[in-house]
Amino acid sequence: MRAALPGVDLLLGSEIVHEKGHAAGVLSAIKTLLAPHGEAVLLLGTGEHRFGATEFEEMACADPQLSIESRDLNRADGSVTDPEARALIAGMESLESGHLVLRAHHIKWSTRDDILQP
């Protein structure tokens, strides 16, 4: 279900999926709150570190109403996969050491007009 206008232009979330059951709830909240041209940006631990993270990404990718781009910000060995991410995680011991691996998810409505019809 799309948000009733006007909705929210930008949703930000970090570490909001910790259990498998959270995946559907977070995805539903995004779809309810996101404005037609809005975007959601989430930082979530990977499936190895957070239950429900894999399910969230699979559900978002399978939803024809949404477009999702995901990328790792760091690796389990502590190395950073993206130069922009280096500044984001500088000084965060759990990320620099690889104890927690984060993925960034950029979500927006699909641009296909036939899908966007209410």
The third-level CATH classification (topology) of the domain covering 8-110 is Rossmann fold (3.40.50)
Q: What is the pLDDT of residue 115?
A: 44
- One-letter amino acid at 14 equals S
Q: Mind listing the pLDDT tens digit for each residue in 79-93?
A: 776 777 777 667 777
Residue 64 in contact with residue 97, Cβ under 8 Å? no
Give the residue-averaged pLDDT of 8-26. Answer: 92
Whether residue 31 is predicted with pLDDT greater than 50 in this model: the reply is yes
- Nearest partner of 80 among 98, 93, 60, judged by Cα: 98
